[in-house]
Structure 1
Amino acid sequence: MLRERLRGELVEPSDPGFPQAKQLQNTEYDAVQPHAVAYCESEQDVVACLRHAQDQGLPVHIRGNGHSMNGWSTGEGLVIDLSRMNHAVADGPLVRLGGGIQSLDALDALKPQRRQIVTGTFPTVSAGGFLTGGGLGWQTRRFGVGSDRIAAARVVLADGRTVRCAATEEPDLYWALRGGGGGSFGIVTEFEVHPVDAPMMTGFETLWAYEDAVDVLTAWQEWCVAGPDELGTSLVVLPGMFGPQGRPVVRVWGVHLGPTQQLVAELDALAERAGAKPIIRTVQPRGTYADVMHEALCGSQTVAQCHRTGSGPEAQGHRHPYTRQSYRLTGRAATRAESAALLDAWDVSLEQEKRERYLLCIALGGAANQVPRTATAYVHRDARFLIGYQMACRDVSADPGAEARLTGWADRAGAALAPLACGSYINFPSSRVSEDWETDFFGENHARLLDVKRAYDPENFFRHAQSIGSRALTTKAAS
């Protein structure tokens, strides 16, 4: 039996902990009933899970910490959970990361050594999905995408072998893992990454009245394109439930790696471009990225408390409700008319429905765009922004018609983004992906990714709805 072959833990539907064990970050997938959830603690555990699944004819679903927006890390088969493979160890010039380690844990573990890794903007995203999908966030402009810093990886393949891939070892697999997305080629149990010395930086936040939204959105994009790579920033349009005095608001926040006085000058320049003053402007004390990210995303919570609720005895982090989203990458700053169209799609008239929804923009470019498009599987080297919309409903069952309304809103938002789009980011997929999603996610790199898939997983054992080969190999098998 699988339970007896694991050093880790197997949780089956008859076990009392199963309702919690099957959870993802998004509550929408609570209704999914996996065959079992295996909490792996070693590569040997992962191999045992693969062999058991193949012997039993079960599909596998690879889960780091369950942040897959479209539920790709769960299903009716065996969930292979890597969250207990969560080490972060400095090893000479590199750092070894367990495939399931979460961002805040890696940053916290490396902080005493004044080193850091490139992470995203959510504290509990795991290394596996983040790095294999590319890895975008506030550090992108200064240090590049996360996958550019992978030096090597240990991967369990569908045939049960464990290989190390690097520039001179299994080079095609190494290329594919750097931006080809998770769940396609094998299970990455460990990464070796190039860290960066933990620079001192300053966090900041500004809030603007919604009445200034068109001017602020337009000015912010121009400001990012013209600004230094040391500036990492996001803009989000929030509904009144999150704004002062119950009014919708535009939030600009992020980090700056230069002197505080330089940040202040940059924020002054943003206000001048917008032709309006923020209603609130906060500049935090300087600290490491771990300090700034903790303050911005965890507040007064400890590291243990900041984890997703239910994942540990002290964990208090929130889960996401039923959500529909539309995200695209764009290659330039939008004009004022285009910014107005983006805000029209957000639709301030929906304030009366009091739904959680937002328009999110993350500034890209900088170091990420200094790498050729085909050098790694991450192809989006001309992207300047990640822009998207999300709307949520806390209880779909108690809100007749909510699913249709959320889907319709996301579709309209996607149509507003289409004229600006230059591709899509596999780690932020839309709820309704495009028919030509292979090109949208991977561009001209898709053909080589499919060749790598055929070489390392010709039977398409590792698969989900948008994995490499999910259409080409399935179609071949069915013909």
Structure 2
Amino acid sequence: MDRRTVLRAGAGAGLAAGLWAPAGRAAAAGGSEGRDWGGLKRLLGGRLYFPGDPRFAPLNMPANHSYSHRVPAAIACPRSHEEVLATVEWAGRHAIGVVPRGGGHSYAGYSTSDGGLLVHLGGMRDVTVNGTTLTVGAGARELDVYAALKDTGLLLPGGRCPEVGVGGLVLGGGIGPATRAYGLTCDSLTGTTVVTGDAYTARCDENSNSELFWACRGGAGGNFGINTSFTFTLHPVRRATAWYDLSWAWKDAAPALKRLAELIAEPRYRKSLTCQFGLRTAGERRVYAQGLCFGSERSEHPEQTLRTLVTRLRPRRSATGTAGIWECMRRFHETPPGDPYAAGSIVAGKDLGASVVDELVDSLGSWKAASPDSRAAVSFFAMGGADAALRPADTAYVHRDATVIVDLAAHWSDADPAPVPDANRQQLQALYRSLSRHLGTDAYQNFPDPGLRNWQTAYYGGNYARLQTVKRTVDPARLFTYPQGIAPTP
């Protein structure tokens, strides 16, 4: 059934096909010569900003300053679903590309625009808790969810950065400190409302617009439209929770990482012990591991597990404790400094081997800082717990057999001259090539690399063709697009 047939057939046929049952489209408006910016500004109550306006530059600045040179034609700041709908309809009528921005933390600058319409969703940060149901607005940040849930004992498994938008996190999957215990952020999503590229309102869940709902769980942001709200099921955390933060001297990096890799791979810890570990070159080179412990599946108390952990891993420094789930999560919040950087990722489907660890330690040990502010980091996110409960085709997020997700990054200063970012990128690319020879080239769509070859397969595997079909249905004209955006089926 093609798109026109689906639309003609109405809601019943769309539900049966699992494709398309729009709740309504913005009212059609007459064409105009040129772009009626004044009309859009009126629709937004004046909240439309152009280059030169005092509010423009702060709204336009992305978290990755490498893309701060990109300048949209205008920045729209809607505060409601209706204003988003009107904005998208206006953009389609005036043939200008739309880029939504929640937190603005896309590694590859995909929440920036050059000459298009940037839709800044920061005015839609409402958060509502009703029992074990959480509903958030399009622009809600992780810190907004933390504020709403910190005293409840209810968990939404999110990420590490309090300023990251919940929308971007969930649309790309969503990994963080509680992933192995409670799954990805997208695994808790039960519904979302989307304004699509054709300016339709689509209310999506498992039973309504189910293909678009499937795509919104790992198909990445900026592909199908603007999600104006998200609804999640929260997890009561009844098990005791403990946290740990360990570090080693650089001379002990290789043996420490090898012991870590062995420990997180043990079946008894796959759902009870979460772990982010890695190496950093900033200041004193160091190796670290941090995460949460919920007690083992053999009913071992988390403090006992932590004692075992520290004994086996022999860190140079260790800090551990028990607390409520949100206090534990807060301990690992990381706020990006706001600087230029380059990054990439590898999704590994096998456990780290000794040769991989040795090569990694050698590479970072010989990393040459291109400037005083240059630094590199490689982070490993342990997977293979609750995140593996679903099959690769159950959601658009395909990496259900992952054992670890590797995040590689090189940072520098806004003031550094051009040779500095070039030198950092070259070293990062060499490190990526070295690791990918052992771990493969699958990649995490929330850690995008703009230079990645065959990104369609790397991010989405066998799910890409299905995502293309959804794209053709809801945004065939590609009002929403970017260099690694999903293309509609021809």
With the length of structure 2 as denominator, give the TM-score of the two structures. 0.86
- Please tell me whether residue 176 in structure 1 is matched to residue 215 in structure 2: yes
Equivalent residue in structure 2 for 1:40, among 67, 70, 78: 78
- Please tell me whether residue 297 in structure 1 is matched to residue 339 in structure 2: no
> Which blocks of at least 5 consecutive residues in structure 1 are unaligned?
242-246, 299-316
**Distance apart, 1:404 and its partner CA:** 1.8
Equivalent residue in structure 1 for 2:483, among 448, 465, 470: 465
- Please tell me whether residue 283 in structure 1 is matched to residue 325 in structure 2: no
Question: Do the aligned partners of 1:166 and 1:174 also contact (CA within 8 Å) in 2?
Answer: yes
Distance (Å, rounded) in 2 between the aligned partners of 1:273 and 1:205: 14
Q: SS at 1:181's partner residue? A: coil
**Distance apart, 1:264 and its partner CA:** 4.4
Per-residue CA deviation, residues 19-42 of structure 1 (Å, 9 max, x unaligned), is 111111112222111111112210
The equivalent residue for 2:190 is 151
**Distance apart, 1:257 and its partner CA:** 2.4
Q: One-letter code of the match for 2:479?
A: F
Q: One-letter code of the match for 2:332?
A: A
The equivalent residue for 2:342 is 324
Equivalent residue in structure 1 for 2:261, among 221, 225, 228: 221
Distance (Å, rounded) in 1 between the aligned partners of 2:217 and 2:282: 39
Equivalent residue in structure 2 for 1:450, among 437, 451, 468: 468
- Which is worse superposed, 413-422 or 168-177? 413-422
Distance (Å, rounded) in 2 between the aligned partners of 1:411 and 1:81: 32
Question: Do the aligned partners of 2:192 and 2:203 also contact (CA within 8 Å) in 1?
Answer: yes
Question: Do the aligned partners of 2:349 and 2:403 also contact (CA within 8 Å) in 1?
Answer: yes
Q: One-letter code of the match for 1:379?
A: V
> Which blocks of at least 5 consecutive residues in structure 2 are unaligned?
1-38
The equivalent residue for 2:275 is 233
Question: Do the aligned partners of 2:196 and 2:226 also contact (CA within 8 Å) in 1?
Answer: yes
Equivalent residue in structure 1 for 2:167, among 108, 121, 128: 128
Q: SS at 1:16's partner residue? A: coil
**Distance apart, 1:146 and its partner CA:** 1.0
The equivalent residue for 1:344 is 362
The equivalent residue for 2:96 is 58
Per-residue CA deviation, residues 90-114 of structure 1 (Å, 9 max, x unaligned), is 2354211112111121121123443
- Please tell me whether residue 421 in structure 1 is matched to residue 421 in structure 2: no
**Distance apart, 1:273 and its partner CA:** 4.5
Identify if the C-alpha distance between structure 1 residues 345 and 292 changes in structure 2 by more than 3 Å, giving closer, same or farther. Answer: same
The equivalent residue for 2:399 is 380
The equivalent residue for 1:24 is 62
**Distance apart, 1:349 and its partner CA:** 4.6
Q: SS at 2:331's partner residue? A: helix
Question: Do the aligned partners of 1:119 and 1:136 also contact (CA within 8 Å) in 2?
Answer: yes
The equivalent residue for 2:139 is 100
Q: One-letter code of the match for 2:329?
A: M
The equivalent residue for 1:404 is 422
Question: Do the aligned partners of 1:331 and 1:422 also contact (CA within 8 Å) in 2?
Answer: no
C-alpha root-mean-square deviation of aligned residues, in Å?
A: 2.2
Q: SS at 1:3's partner residue? A: helix
Q: One-letter code of the match for 1:65?
A: G
Identify if the C-alpha distance between structure 1 residues 431 and 464 changes in structure 2 by more than 3 Å, giving closer, same or farther. Answer: closer
Distance (Å, rounded) in 2 between the aligned partners of 1:98 and 1:352: 41
Distance (Å, rounded) in 2 between the aligned partners of 1:333 and 1:61: 37
The structure 1 segments of at least 4 consecutive aligned residues displaced by more than 6 Å after TM superposition are none
Question: Do the aligned partners of 1:326 and 1:413 also contact (CA within 8 Å) in 2?
Answer: no
The equivalent residue for 2:14 is none
Q: One-letter code of the match for 2:245?
A: E
Question: Do the aligned partners of 2:107 and 2:342 also contact (CA within 8 Å) in 1?
Answer: no
- Please tell me whether residue 201 in structure 1 is matched to residue 253 in structure 2: no
The equivalent residue for 1:250 is 287
Question: Do the aligned partners of 1:38 and 1:80 also contact (CA within 8 Å) in 2?
Answer: yes
Alignment size in residue pairs: 444
Equivalent residue in structure 1 for 2:305, among 266, 275, 279: 266
Question: Do the aligned partners of 1:8 and 1:41 also contact (CA within 8 Å) in 2?
Answer: no
Q: One-letter code of the match for 1:73?
A: S
- Which is worse superposed, 53-62 or 372-381? 53-62
Identify if the C-alpha distance between structure 1 residues 110 and 268 changes in structure 2 by more than 3 Å, giving closer, same or farther. Answer: closer
Identify if the C-alpha distance between structure 1 residues 349 and 465 changes in structure 2 by more than 3 Å, giving closer, same or farther. Answer: closer
Distance (Å, rounded) in 1 between the aligned partners of 2:468 and 2:152: 40
Identify if the C-alpha distance between structure 1 residues 349 and 380 changes in structure 2 by more than 3 Å, giving closer, same or farther. Answer: closer
Distance (Å, rounded) in 2 between the aligned partners of 1:2 and 1:240: 46
**Distance apart, 1:431 and its partner CA:** 4.3
- Please tell me whether residue 357 in structure 1 is matched to residue 376 in structure 2: yes
Question: Do the aligned partners of 1:157 and 1:187 also contact (CA within 8 Å) in 2?
Answer: yes
Question: Do the aligned partners of 2:64 and 2:339 also contact (CA within 8 Å) in 1?
Answer: yes
Q: SS at 1:169's partner residue? A: coil
Identity rate, percent: 28
Q: SS at 1:296's partner residue? A: coil
**Distance apart, 1:326 and its partner CA:** 2.5
The equivalent residue for 1:192 is 231
Distance (Å, rounded) in 2 between the aligned partners of 1:345 and 1:102: 35
Q: SS at 1:338's partner residue? A: helix
- Please tell me whether residue 13 in structure 1 is matched to residue 51 in structure 2: yes
Per-residue CA deviation, residues 390-412 of structure 1 (Å, 9 max, x unaligned), is 111103x5434112211211111
**Distance apart, 1:56 and its partner CA:** 2.9
Identify if the C-alpha distance between structure 1 residues 262 and 151 changes in structure 2 by more than 3 Å, giving closer, same or farther. Answer: same
Distance (Å, rounded) in 2 between the aligned partners of 1:215 and 1:268: 19
Per-residue CA deviation, residues 30-71 of structure 1 (Å, 9 max, x unaligned), is 211111111221011111211222233211111001010101
Distance (Å, rounded) in 2 between the aligned partners of 1:258 and 1:365: 17
Question: Do the aligned partners of 1:40 and 1:84 also contact (CA within 8 Å) in 2?
Answer: yes
Q: SS at 1:297's partner residue? A: coil
Identify if the C-alpha distance between structure 1 residues 394 and 240 changes in structure 2 by more than 3 Å, giving closer, same or farther. Answer: closer
Question: Do the aligned partners of 1:26 and 1:67 also contact (CA within 8 Å) in 2?
Answer: yes
Distance (Å, rounded) in 2 between the aligned partners of 1:85 and 1:122: 19
Q: One-letter code of the match for 1:117?
A: L
- Which is worse superposed, 375-384 or 114-123? 114-123
Q: SS at 1:97's partner residue? A: strand
Question: Do the aligned partners of 1:205 and 1:283 also contact (CA within 8 Å) in 2?
Answer: yes
Identify if the C-alpha distance between structure 1 residues 168 and 352 changes in structure 2 by more than 3 Å, giving closer, same or farther. Answer: closer
**Distance apart, 1:263 and its partner CA:** 4.0
Equivalent residue in structure 2 for 1:371, among 384, 390, 399: 390
Distance (Å, rounded) in 1 between the aligned partners of 2:147 and 2:160: 15
**Distance apart, 1:293 and its partner CA:** 2.8
Distance (Å, rounded) in 1 between the aligned partners of 2:221 and 2:349: 25
Per-residue CA deviation, residues 167-199 of structure 1 (Å, 9 max, x unaligned), is 110111111111111111111101111111145
Distance (Å, rounded) in 1 between the aligned partners of 2:161 and 2:68: 21
